[in-house]
């Protein structure tokens, strides 16, 4: 007995121990084992016991006392063992602090997960290259000044929920000073162990974030700050004798499994997915599994057994879960759960409770395995909570709006009162930390704003294509330094866009304010704008087929419905037009340019101080009187929808009769119901007449002269998707409405007084589309249009 140098009492030593763990306590005679180098005891049930006496064993290399119901403190001498490489005392009830006196410089793995340890993390524990898991403890708050948060330190520290103090978000995102949610989401989709993946679910494309790129530290916490989720993984595959562990599995070239299931994340002990900044409410959680590690052939069949527990929000929801028992090997399995989110966080934990097989022939892979997670709100609208909450949200929105406006105004005023000398410190009131890019980064990405990288000229300056170091392709919008409006617009854009995400809205990755440069970084859209896809006569462009056009139409409607009704900040876009709808590589439409978007303070129409929009798309009441409501966007959407069906530009196209424009013509056709004349002749017979007719009818409803008669965007979506039918509205022949509607077109003719025809005028509209009541010489005063046209 005294000669014993290795003592393994863990079920991780083999598959013999399946079922109940050992019965404690750990024999005290263990202290007599002077030559002990490797001690592993886990999963002991029984009364609480103190840390076993190990002071005599000076040659200890590995100490595992996991889940042994240990109480009391960790004796100081443990930290002084010179050869100690791995210390795992996770899942116990240990209290007290960590000794400052750590001599063992060979310590590489320290797992303290799930105890009640407190105090500071001593500097001496933070050894270069080590893996230290402090998650689920009661250490002093790991703020940005704490040694564990030092950047440039070459170690893996998992600080997930390592302290009880601080606000709940600081537990999840330690090392941040003012942890707060930039926005609240209402879903989570993760393709575990894989890359970003688009999956078709219930007729919608759902984008699953990937976690394959997360570092493979043994005790680690990683976050996806874009969508506010993270994962904490702990444990080391003890028996594989391989230093570099692999925590992802993938099945190559599998034709049998859907791609979501061909990758999986593994964990030796415990794996927690956490979604923070989630709206409170009830959620459906689907956990996706497929056993892709064990194969079906007889050699391994009897050896591989994977058993683990699943916890949701800290509650055990599945005990001794075994994928193979449920569906067999290599088959997909979806396990549904329901859960409530109260503190904006959702926690799904997979925990290996020491059962099943540890010694797997190929590699020590035995712990939990998960293929994907999807979380969706039970109530579709994601507007959770009673009326009171809505009121507070609206309150916050209004407060946010006021703040934004005050900041905008202050910054704007400061800049221009200082004779254009920019003071970028003004921006510090805006929290841009999470999405800041350095100028150097963007210069490298766009090859120093090389003219060959330029992909367009937006309203406020050129747009460049760039590639970040990690391969992400981006579009960088450079705000021209002379554009006065631009600066104000810039702040608006950041504040507003960063709050909003939807598959049909262009994503803002971040921004850069440095050296006289104001840059916005957007996701790159491979297929340019809807306008170029529809109207460019370039023959090399392939014609958009009808199915795509219909998809685009529905997509824009969804994006707008989200902006108007679903997002937390309700927004009127104000400048919906074909050039502001971008197309990604799969020709999905995304609405861009929220620069003009402003929060709508009131449900009711109000007179806006500043009119901005594009002629031909602007609702009459807005163009003429500055009355702004969601219905102004609905009108613009109607015009775009007509353009999609006809493939013609509302401004440029002059029908062969006495109509002023496309819309005018469409209204005339409404009387005779000869909608087919509108259809793009290039599509020939390949158009779905029924769908196209629906689009035209909806477009005509949307462009009704009276805002009250126009549907809301959610009604539009529902009509386009065929869930509600399109009401028959008598054609508007009333002079009043008709006049109003085409007044804007006629105005545009007057604006371009030097131009002799509408056709040539339209060509110059580009540079002059934005006008404003903040009158300056080169800008058109809307009031004056008003008088001229009546």
Query: Where does this chain bind ligand NAG (CB under 6 A)?
Result: 2-3, 34-35, 45-48, 69, 116, 118, 138, 164, 168, 252-253, 296, 328-330, 336-338, 342-343, 378
Number of alpha carbons in the 13 Å side-chain half-sphere of residue 460:
22
Nearest alpha-carbon partner for 562 in 225, 180, 181, 183:
183
Least CB distance to ligand NAG at residue 550 (A): 32
CA gap 640, 698 in Å, rounded: 11
DSSP 522-556: EE--TT-BHHHHHH---TTSPPPPHHHHHHHHHHH
Q: How far is the CB of 195 from ligand NAG (least distance, A)?
A: 16
- In sequence order, which ranges of 609-734 are alpha helices (DSSP H)? 620-625, 630-646, 662-672, 689-702, 713-720
CA nearest to 94, candidates 77, 72, 66: 72
Q: Shortest gap between Cβ of 357 and ligand NAG (angstroms)?
A: 18
699/646 Cα distance (integer angstroms): 12
For residues 320 and 21, what is the distance between their CA atoms, to the nearest angstrom? 13
Give the residue at shortest CB distance from ligand NAG.
330
- From the CB of 69, what's the least distance to ligand NAG, in Å? 4
Distance CA 601, CA 615 (A): 25
Asked if residues 238 and 268 have their Cβ atoms less than 8 Å apart, the reply is yes
Give the nearest distance from C-beta 125 to ligand NAG in angstroms: 17
Q: Which is nearer to ligand NAG, 120 or 523 (CB)?
A: 120
Active-site entry in 211, 575, 593, 664: 575
Closest CA to 184 of 632, 614, 569, 680: 569
Q: Where are the alpha helices (DSSP H) in 446-529?
A: 484-497
Residue 575 annotated in active site: yes
Contact 113, 92 (CB under 8 A): no
CB 337 to ligand NAG: min, Å = 5
Q: How far is the CB of 234 from ligand NAG (least distance, A)?
A: 19
For ligand NAG, which is the closer residue by CB, 45 or 392?
A: 45
Q: Pick between residue 45 and residue 213 the one whose CB is nearest to ligand NAG.
A: 45
The pair phi, psi for residue 695, each rounded to 5°, is -60, -45
Give CA–CA dist 46/446, Å, rounded: 63
Strand partners, 223: 230
Residue 447 burial by Cβ neighbours in a 10 Å radius (0-12, 13-18, 19+): middle
Q: What residues pair up with 209 in beta bridges, in sequence order?
A: 190
| Measured distance CA(183)–CA(436) in Å, rounded | 17
Nearest approach in angstroms of CB 503 to ligand NAG is: 24
Comparing CB distances to ligand NAG, the nearer of 338 and 724 is: 338
Closer to ligand NAG by Cβ: residue 139 or 665: 139
Beta pairing, strands 116-119 & 93-96: parallel
Please identify, using beta-carbon distances, which residue of 169 and 479 lies nearer to ligand NAG: 169
**Cβ-count burial of 135 within 10 angstroms (0-12 exposed, 13-18 middle, 19+ buried)?**
buried
Considering the complex, state which of residue 58 and residue 444 has its C-beta at the smaller distance from ligand NAG: 58
Give the residue with the Cβ less far from ligand NAG, 29 or 343. 343
Which residue pairs from 224-228 have beta carbons closer than 8 angstroms and sit at least 24 positions apart in sequence? Answer: 225/434, 227/185, 227/188, 228/181, 228/185, 228/275, 228/276, 228/277, 228/278
CB of 38 to ligand NAG, least distance (A): 14
Toward ligand NAG, which CB reaches closer, 214 or 351? Answer: 351
Nearer to ligand NAG, 380 or 723 (CB): 380
Q: Which of 617, 619, 571, 615 is nearest to 595 (CA)?
A: 571
Secondary structure letter of residue 685 according to DSSP: G
Q: What residues are annotated to the active site?
A: 575
């Amino acid at each position: 007995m005294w000669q014993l140098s290795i003592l393994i009492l863990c079920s991780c030593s083999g598959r013999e121990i399946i079922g109940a763990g050992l019965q404690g306590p750990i024999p005290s005679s263990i202290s007599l084992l002077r030559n002990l180098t490797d001690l592993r005891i886990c999963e002991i049930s029984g009364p609480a016991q103190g840390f076993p006496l190990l002071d005599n064993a000076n040659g200890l290399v590995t100490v595992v006392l996991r889940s042994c119901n240990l109480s009391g403190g960790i004796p100081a001498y443990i930290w002084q063992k010179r050869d100690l490489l791995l210390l795992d005392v996770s899942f116990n009830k240990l209290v007290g602090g960590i000794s400052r006196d750590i001599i063992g410089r060979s310590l590489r793995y320290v797992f303290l997960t799930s105890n009640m340890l407190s105090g500071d993390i001593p500097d001496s524990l933070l050894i270069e290259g080590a893996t230290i898991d402090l998650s689920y403890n009661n250490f002093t708050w790991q703020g940005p000044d704490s040694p564990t948060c030092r950047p440039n330190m070459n170690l893996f520290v998992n600080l997930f929920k390592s302290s009880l103090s601080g606000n709940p978000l600081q537990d999840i995102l330690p090392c941040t000073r003012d942890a707060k949610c930039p926005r609240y989401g209402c879903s989570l989709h993760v393709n575990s162990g894989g890359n970003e993946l688009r999956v078709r679910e219930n007729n919608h494309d759902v984008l699953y974030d990937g976690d394959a790129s997360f570092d493979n530290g043994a005790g680690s916490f990683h976050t996806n700050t874009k969508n506010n989720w993270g994962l904490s993984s702990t444990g080391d595959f003890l028996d594989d004798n391989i230093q570099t562990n692999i925590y992802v599995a993938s099945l190559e070239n599998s034709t049998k499994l859907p791609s979501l299931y061909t990758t999986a994340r593994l964990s030796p002990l415990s794996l927690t997915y956490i979604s923070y900044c989630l709206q409170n409410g009830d959620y459906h959680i689907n956990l996706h599994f497929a056993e892709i590690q064990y194969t079906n052939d007889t050699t391994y069949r009897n050896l591989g057994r994977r058993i683990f527990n699943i916890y949701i929000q800290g509650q055990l929801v599945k005990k001794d879960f075994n994928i193979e028992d449920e569906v067999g090997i290599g088959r997909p399995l979806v396990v549904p759960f329901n859960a409530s989110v109260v503190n904006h966080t959702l926690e799904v934990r997979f925990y290996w409770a020491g059962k099943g097989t540890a010694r797997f022939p190929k590699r020590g892979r035995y712990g939990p395995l998960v293929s994907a997670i999807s979380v969706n709100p039970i109530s579709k609208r994601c507007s959770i909570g009673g009326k009171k909450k809505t009121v507070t949200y609206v309150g916050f929105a209004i407060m946010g709006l006021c703040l934004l406006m005050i900041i905008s105004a202050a910054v704007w005023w400061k800049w221009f009162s200082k004779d254009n000398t920019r003071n970028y410190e003004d921006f510090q009131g805006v929290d841009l930390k999470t999405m800041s890019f350095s100028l150097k980064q963007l210069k490298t990405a766009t090859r120093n704003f090389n003219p060959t990288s330029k992909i367009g000229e937006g309203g406020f300056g050129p747009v460049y294509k760039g590639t970040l170091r990690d391969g992400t392709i981006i579009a960088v919008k450079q705000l021209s330094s002379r554009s006065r409006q631009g600066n104000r617009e810039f702040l608006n854009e950041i504040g507003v866009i960063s709050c909003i995400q939807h598959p049909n809205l262009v994503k803002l990755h971040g921004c850069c304010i440095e050296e006289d440069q104001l840059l916005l970084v957007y996701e790159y859209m491979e297929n340019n704008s809807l306008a170029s896809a529809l109207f460019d006569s370039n023959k090399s462009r392939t014609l958009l087929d009808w199915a795509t056009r219909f998809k685009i139409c529905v997509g824009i409607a969804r994006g707008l419905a989200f902006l108007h009704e679903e997002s937390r900040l309700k927004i009127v876009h104000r400048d919906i037009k074909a050039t502001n709808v971008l197309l990604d590589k799969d020709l999905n439409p995304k609405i861009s340019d929220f620069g003009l978007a402003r929060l709508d303070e009131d449900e009711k129409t109000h007179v806006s101080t500043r009119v901005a929009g594009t002629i031909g798309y602007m609702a009459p009441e807005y163009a003429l009187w500055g009355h702004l409501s969601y219905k102004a966007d609905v009108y613009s959407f109607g015009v775009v929808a007509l353009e999609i069906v006809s493939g013609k530009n509302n401004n440029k196209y002059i029908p062969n009769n006495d109509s002023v424009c496309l819309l005018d013509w469409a209204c005339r056709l409404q009387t005779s119901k000869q909608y087919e004349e509108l259809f793009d002749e290039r599509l020939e017979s390949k158009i779905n007449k029924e769908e196209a007719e629906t689009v035209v009818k909806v477009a005509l409803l949307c462009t009704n002269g009276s805002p009250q008669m126009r549907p809301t965007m959610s009604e539009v979506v529902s009509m386009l998707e065929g869930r509600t039918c399109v009401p028959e509205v008598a054609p508007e022949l009333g002079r009043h409405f008709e006049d109003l509607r085409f007044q804007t077109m006629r105005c545009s003719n007057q604006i371009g007084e030097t131009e002799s025809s509408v056709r040539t005028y339209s060509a110059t509209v580009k540079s002059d589309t934005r006008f404003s009541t903040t009158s300056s010489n080169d800008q058109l005063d809307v009031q004056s249009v008003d008088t001229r046209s009546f």
